[in-house]
Structure formats: C-alpha cells, structure tokens
Structure 1
Amino acid sequence: MPNINMIRINSKLEDLFDGKIDVTDHPDEQALFYSRALAALAIMMECGVDADVASKSVTDGYHDMGIDAIYCDDMQKKLVLVQSKWRSDGVGSISQKESLEFVEGMNRIMSLEFDGANPKIIHKIPEITSAIKNMDYQVLSIYCHTGGQDMPPYAKRPVNTLLANTNDDTNKILDFYEIKISDVFKYLASGQEADNICLDDVLLSNWGKVDEPMKAYYGTISAAALGTWFNSYGNHLFAQNIRFYKGSTEVNQGMKKVLQDEPEKFFYYNNGVKMLCKKVIRKAAYGTNNKMGLFSLEGVSVVNGAQTTGTIGTFFNENPEQTEKATVFLQLIDLGDSGENSALQITKLSNTQNKIDSKEFAALDPQQDRLKNELMFSGIFYLYKSGALIDDLIHQVSIDEAIIAQACYQDEVTYAATAKRNIGALTDDIQKAPYKVLFNARTNAFAMKNSIEIMRALDKYLQTHEGEYQGRSKLVLIHGNRFMLYLVLQNLKSNPDFNIKMIAVTDIAKSVAQISPRIILNVVEAMNQVFPDAYPANIFKNVGRCREIIAAMGSITG
C-alpha cells in the first residue's frame, strides 16, 4: 500500500527543488534527486536558508567522502555536515555501514583531509578550513532519512565514539542529531516562513499590559516552554533577528551553568526574551486577575534573546527537570497593522541596547548573503557576520574591507571622505543611503572583490613606500589613504574585466604600483596649492576639501 506521507513529501520536494538540485551526473535517477533534495532540506531546517541557497550546499556524488551536503552557517557559527538516505517506502532506519561511512567523512572533514574529494567538496575547502580553524565554530552533523525508526544503538555506536573522542566536558566541538520522516513531514506541512509560527496556550505569570503606541504584554514564563518552542521550530524562531543561536559560546556556556547550578536565579541574571507577533490574543482562562494569563500568538519571531532561547532549548534536551525550575522575562509585542518598518525598528533598537555595531545590521540585508554566495562560487569566503576574522587573505574578504572598498569605488568622492571621517555612518541605516548606495541589487561581486584587492595592494604600497616621503607629503600617505584609494579605483575600474571576473592579485599589485607614484605626486601638489597650511588629517575627512583637491588636479583619471 502506498505511503501517503511519502507521496506528499515527494510532491513538496519537487515544488521546492525542481531545477535547483544538480543531477546532471545521473539525470534519469529520480531517487537520486529526492536523496539530494533531502540533504538540501536538512540545511534549510537547521540554518533557515531558502531552497536556492540550500541546493548549492549539496555535495553528493562520486567521491563525496560520505558527506551529501556542507554548509557553513556564519550566523550560528556552525559547519553543518549532512548525510541523507532516501527510503521510498518511508520505513527503516540507518545501518551500521551507513553510519560508519558518515563518521569517516566527518573525521576527514575535521582533519582537513580532502585527497580524492569531488569538485563540489574541493570548491568548499576555503569555508570548511575557515570554520575548522575558528575556535568559535561548532561542527554539526545531521543524518537525515525518510525512515520511521531511530538509529539503533549498534549503528549509533561509531557516532558516539567520535563524539566522545572529539568533545570534552567543557568544549563541545562536534554535535550530532537525526532527522526522520516524521520531522521532515512536520516541517514541510507547517511551511518554511516565520509567519507560520503560532504558539497556543502561552502561560504568563505576573503579567502586565501596555496599550500605546502599540499593544504589548509582559510577564514571566517557564524556561521549559522556551525550550519546547526552540526544539519545535529551531532557528525559524529568529527569522527577524540579527543573529541566530550561536551555539557553545562563552556567554552561552555561562547561561547553561546558571541553569544547571542556580535555575531559580536565572530570571535575575538574564535580560529576557522579546517576541514580535502578528497577533496576540488573550484567552478567557485565568481572566480574573494578572497573576496568570493565557495567550495565543500568531506570526512569532524572537527579535531579542536568541542566545537565551537557544541555550535554554539545548539545555532542556539534556536536563528538562532543571529547566523547569527556571523562569524567563518575556515581552510580547502585537504588531497588528504596524507593518514591517515598525518590526525592523524594534529589532534594531532592541539590539542597539546590547551595543551591537551598526554594521552588524547588514545581517538583515539579503544582498549580503547574495554577495557571499556569488563570491563562494569563485572560492572566496565573504565574512559579513560579526566576530569572523580573516586568517586566509587568498580566500577570504570581510565586510569591513567591503564597506571601505565600496565607498571608494563610487563615482562621488563623498563616500570615500565618509569612510575616513566616520566609517560607521556608512552602515548606520541599512534601509537608506549611504548604505543602500554601497550595497544594493546592482552591487557586483566581482567589482567588490577587485576593489578590495586594490585596497589591500594600495595599503601595502603606501606602507612600504612611506619612508621615502617627508613632511606633509608623508602625511598624505598616512591620512589620505582612502582619498588615494578613491583615485586609484576611478582609474582602474575602467578595466573591461573589472565587473566580469576576478582579476589576478599579481596583476592588481602591478597596476597599483604603476599608478600610485603619479597619484601621490598629483595629490601632494594639489593639496599644497589649495591648502598650503592645513593639516592633512583634516583635509581628507572633509568632502568639500576633497572636491577642491580634485578640481586643482584637473582630472582624477589618466
């Protein structure tokens, strides 16, 4: 008898991934499409990305090292490894042989052993290496299958051995969990948008209410309730947040220790959780006073408190009894007809109170993720999330570099002067200029990467040759670096290859070395002519003065 759940899963996977999963190696094997789509779906479920991004994570094929999908989640600081098995009848589990193959693949990835790996894995070596070397990252392994039974103990033994050999009491580097047909069906049936998250029978203690300018409720809630929600919805709870749950960080480990040792005091040590809701309905139960209140929430997203929610969720799995003893302060904001702008403003200002740098709000901009994915096709890892540090100049670029390079790439010198005067102003509001001038749908990933390499080459050139100049001329090299980057870029971005491919770093260095002496000379002469007595540090922060120097130079190109 056909399994109706499998029929529905088949249909949904086709809707999500038709034309997106690469099956060119075996175009006639439908089961292969479903297996690879299942691996991509596991990435969607864990990381909250869309089908297009998840599809590109698939590595299944000959010489895949037992790994069917790899995704580096910068937001959660996790390297996610997936093995998938398609059971067309919806029954069965994982064999010990299949488990051993996955464990061997995990071992090789963590050891950075890629000999014989297929091109899809080779292509991901830069991001894999970066994650493995980064002490903040965790490796998360997922076995996703459409069988109905849990992995039997004998099959899970190799996984448990690897976990024991990798982790210790204080540092959890590697984690593992299993996704079965029931999990897949539930996820696909409930939809993938945050708007679909509805929480019923939310019980608030000692609750209060605010009516203006928009309705909000607040009170305390059992930490176990947060744990249940996180385990049900995972990172989809944080769809409108700047960050997902980051895993085993120092701060999150501290929260776990409080839950373990002093759960009754968790409320006093923690700032609580803030949720945006499309609709908040107060139920009639417990309606006579404010001691207890029962609520129904529609379209839920945690916009402040992702680390609290995720930490409680993971601890709840380990120790539900201790979690029950803790309470958390919870704010529920009913957006009603307030719209997207109100939601974004609440998200921004809530997190600003936690001293988040303004550029971190770029995490809310889908253009940043687009640029990351486009650069990754060329083997370049774009670090645009907070805390990521460059340790491989060949294969990595950062948002800090991109902001400066994009500012100096623009035709108008205003943005280059702003980059020198107050770089934070460039990312102060991701909804409008100057940020939208630098990063928008027309921002070209090749041009951005080439501009960054020109910036690196020019910075190196200026540092190397600084000793050859004296007095005000030397100060130009120090304080006029962004202005000169603007001038160099205006000259070099006319290269016909600038927007269509990544120019070789050696060629960029030669071009920069060739043009820089003339630009330095022209800037120094124009500055001395127009501002003979002004201190160079102040000149290049001022848009008007930069324009006067350009006018005195006569031309910024040639």
Structure 2
Amino acid sequence: MSANPATSGASPYDATPRTQVRQVRDALLREFDGLIDVEDLANKSAADREQAFLSRALAALTVRDLTGCDSAAAAEAVIDGRDDIGIDAVAIDKNASHLWLIQSKWSDSGKGKFAVADALKFIEGLRCIDARRFDRFNVRFQNLADQVTAVLSHRGSKITLVPTVMRTDPLAADVVQRLSDAQEEFNQFGNILDQRIYLARDIWEVVRNDFAEPSIRLTARMQDWIRITEPYEAFQGIVSVADIAEWYDNHEDRLFDRNIRKSLGITQVNQGLIDTLTADPHNFWFFNNGITVLCDTVDPEYFQRGARRSPVTLTLDGASVVNGAQTVHAIHRAFRKDPEAVAEGYVTVRVISLRNCPAGFADAVTTATNTQNRVERRDFVALDPVQRRIKQDFLLSLQKTYTVQRGEPEPSAENGCSVEVAAIALACAHRNSDLAVRAKLGADLLWEDGSQGAYHLLFNVQDQPSAYQIWRSVLVLREVDATLRRTAKDRQARAEAIVERGNRLIAHIAFQHLDLDGIDEPDTDWDAILAQVPKVVERATDWLVHHVDAEFKKQLVSSTLAEPEPCRTLAGLVLRDLQSGAPVPDLPQEYRPVKSAPRQRRRNAVPTLVDANRLAEGTPLTFRAIGQSERDALAAWLAADPSRGAATWVNQRVRPLLWAADGKRYSPSGLVQKMWQLAEWSKAPVAAQGPARWCDAEGKSLWRLALDTRNEHDLGDLDEDA
C-alpha cells in the first residue's frame, strides 16, 4: 500500500542505512546483471568491475524510475565510460519532450562522493548537448543522439539534471550552488532546466516500491450518513452488504493490510454473522458493530447536496478495513451462499480520512476499535513499526514472506515464516534460557511487553533483529526439530518425556554451542552451519537426559522443564560437557525402545483436550491425510475448495470441530468420514482415526496433543479413533 501522507517523510518503518545499502546493492545485481554493458571493464580488477557495474546499474535504476520503462530499456540508456563528459545515463520520455541527464555514484558504505569537480563536469556535458556537440561523446551516446535531438527540437521541452548518489548526507552546499547557478543561467529565457537529486533514502524507496502492492480504491454508496470535518474528516452511514461483498471480491485479504489481523476464517462468532445474513438479513444491521475504514483521502459525490437522507458516493483512495475484518469475510461468504437474500442487508460503515492526521493516529484507531472477536496480545504486534520493518527486510533482502497478522496464511517452509515462528526461534537463540522455557509453555508468553517482557527482549527497537538473523534462526530451529523427530524412535519412557518437554531447551543449547557470529552477514555459508546441527542436537539430547536424571531424579519431568531455574542449571551443565568434548553417556536400558504389546485404549482424545483446556477456542486446524492412498483419493477434492481442509476448535466435548466448508460442527472422526464420503473414496476404511488427521499450526495432531496432555497429567492411555 502506498505511504500515508499523514505519516510519510521520516518514516519509522525505514530500514537502517546499512541495511538500505545492502538491499539496494542486492536489487541492482538482481535486476541488471547481464543487461549492463561492461565489456570496457575487462582489464579492471574484479572489485573495480563490480563497483563500476553498481554505479552504472544505479544510473539505470534511476532511468527506470523516471520514465517507467523496463530494466532492459533502462540499461540501454547508460552511457557511462570514456568520453561520457560527466553523464552516466540519458533518459527520454515517450513524448520526446523531457530529457533527464543522470550522473551516478555508488558507495558500499553509503558515503558516495559528489564533489564540485563532478558537478562542473556534469554541467560541461549539459553545455555540449545544448550546443549539439555530440561528436565529443562516446558511441553509447551516439546511439541516442537522434532521440536527444528530437527532445531539444521539441517546443517547450525540459531538461533535468539528476545526481544519483548512494550517500545518506545531503550534497555539499557548494555542489548544490553550482547546479543552481547552471539552472539560473539556462532559464534566463524560459523554464528549461531543473534538477532532481536522488540520495540513499530516495534510491532505497525506489527499490522498496518495486515490491509494494498498489493502493486500494474503494467505492462506498452510503445512506443516512453524517459527515465530520474537525479535527479530521470522517463519514458514517449505512452501506449495502452487496457493496462490502464486492470489496472483498476485488481485493480479498489485502483489504485488511492496516488491520491487526486478517480474517480468522470460520469461528462461532463469524458463523453467527453468516447465519443472520442468510436467514434474517434485515436484522443484520441491528446485531453488528459495523466496519471502520481508514483511507488516505476521501472524495464525496453528493446525489443532492444538503439532503441528509439522500445518498452520497465516497471514493476512498489508499483504503484499508481496520475493524470489521471478520464482518467483511462473513458478508462475503454469506453473499456467495445466497446473494439474493443477503443483498437486502445493510451494515454501518465509518470512514476516516488520514489526510492531516498526526503520525500514529491510524494505529491508535486500529487498536481502539478491535473488540468484537477475541483480541489477543499477539494481534497488536501487527501495529509495531519493528514488525513492519522486518516484513519489509524479508521482502527486500531475502525475497521471502514474513507474515505478522493473525489469520494470514502461513508461508511454505521454503518461502518464509510467520512472526510466531520467528519469535520462538529468537527465544531459543537468546542467551537467556528463560525465553526458551516461555516459548515451550506457550507462544502467548512471547508477546508480553515491558522492559523485561519477552517481546521487548526479542524485538528490541534499539537492537532490531535483521531478516537474515531471523530467517537463519528459523532454519536452525527447524533442523533441531527435524533431528528430534528423526531420533525419537531411539527413546522411550522418561527419556522420551524429557526430550518432548525439553525440545526448546535443547534448541537453546544448540544455538549457544554453534558458532553464529556470521548470522547477520549475507555471505556466511549457512548450509555449513546447518550441517553441524544434527550432531550437536544428538549429543545435547543425551547429555540433557543424563543431567535431568542426575540433578532432578526425584522431580517430575514436566515441572522440572517448565521452571526457569532448573533449566538454567541444565543448560549450563550440558553446554559445559559439549564444549569439553567429553564422551556422551549411554542411556539407561529402560530408556531404549523395546517391542511391547499394545496398551489398552482407555480415554478419548477430545475429552482429554477439553478437560485440560489445551486448545484455545477458535484455534485453526488443518486436515492432514494419512497414507498415500488417502492423499491420492482426497487431493483433487481438497484442492477444489481449500475450506474443505480447514476447521476451528470449539472447546466442547460433543462435535468440537467447526468445519469451514459448511459452518457446521462435527466430531473429528465423523468429519473425516463425511469428507471421505463427499470425495467419493470407494476404498475408504470402515473406521477413521479423526484426531490423528486434524493438526494445529505447529503440525501436531489432536491425538498427539492429547497424548502430551496425558503424559503431563498421568491421565491414562488414549483411544486413537476418538
């Protein structure tokens, strides 16, 4: 979304200068490698060739920004080299009425130099062009000479001098004076010459905007409206739900970019909205709190000015729904279900224009208006400028996705991660083992603010983690988890419980033992680091089991590994032994798996989870087929409608799954059997192990979660089918 005029300028969401330079450098290499002519640089050193390439690519990037052409055409506009007379690129608009002369200076440190001599050389090149002395220029300029002549012959044409310098500080005053003197001289008989300066921030914004989504324009046809003009402009009135459904049809979840969360899918609250709209649309307005929209500008078109009862059509530029995401989503689903009936419903819409609003006002409105569905501390993380910078850093530095809002789809493992995954990884990587303990007890504990709160320690604005640090921490944590899963078959009894309860502590120990000094450096060979993880984890696991038994034999595993103090002691002991290289102790015989007869099944998974309140109301669940035959039988059917593989948890013993496909409740096994039936799987088994197929965001099945609960509270064995 485009920048909000009320908050643009020195934006709190900008990257640091060092990060800006790196991101621009990466973009130049990515966009212009193979397009920029560098044949004349063959005799230079590799380092000098790269610096010259980056300077030329910077000129091409400027051309692309000024003219809107593609990268290949921009590269053709570069004339840098011998006999360029201070001009590195020549850009011409499509009407041959505007000529831009660009001189670019690259700097890896962000301290590019543009001295008085550079300005005078630049002006000399301008004079040669004005005098049509094209023969003084190199062959690259000669290829553009006819186009330059066309501009100079065009009545009313303009010329702009464009210094593009990778530096954070403004150009020196005497340099600016030389450019201004040339402008005054050329403009004695008309406004012909001007100047435009690109510095590091401007260049970085060009790169950032390459990735930016276009802003959203909405139309709201409002009845029974009121208008407020002071201190900020706002409208409130009623809008047909058909218009709201059209908003979502056109823009989907991008509507909620400024919100603290995306649509949460089918929850009991949202299903109630859908039911009201389809069964009794006239009452929907009475039962709903309405929708709040922020926009950069609002343009009203009155049907009959001054008649309050007559409609007004509002055009909202840079619009975002900041409260009512669940309402919008429910309206859209209901409209798809029964458009004729739903079209009779109306909803209150409040529109606030951010023009002339102070910085931070949009976030304040978003925070204050979110109350209808349960709002968690994790939701307000989406408003933190640090998270917006990290999201931007992921995109520009890694070309990966970083999701912040609750309800956003989790990126695939190779394409990115969510803020929750990032927080857990950073908690395990932190030198303080207490944070790993909190991560194990629940991700909710990681959003606690305050000077000693986990969120402040992990995402401190004064020491903000970079995209490289976060992503590489996530990769290490994933490798730790993969190793623990792979070696799980080698443990049983108390050893199994220790590793299950201590997996985040093991990750913390692995992070502390590995050499992560280069975690922030783009050129670090991270694959080499990841290759060390399995061995470290295996050794750390055996040492942890040994020390838990040696130091806390008489204590429950669950309580030992849930308390910060014993975990600090254990982490210190294991790290000492890892660093000493001492041989790993053998596990006691009773900790090694042996074949045994199946235990009698006693307790169902659902009552176990409900009694322990293990899952929060509304927790999203995803269907996971078991076995290749089931995957093959259901793949096409699930792909045809993603909602078929989604449900949310209702904390009740009877039918605890609210299926996204139809908004009805089922038991886990009952829903699986219904899905088999609808998918027309003729070879489906007689019985379905439903709890084994419905999984939370971490990939743990209901049956696994119930088994963990049983182990923690000694509740007896589980029935896998229920």
Q: TM-score, normalised by structure 2?
A: 0.40
Bigger Cα Rg = 2
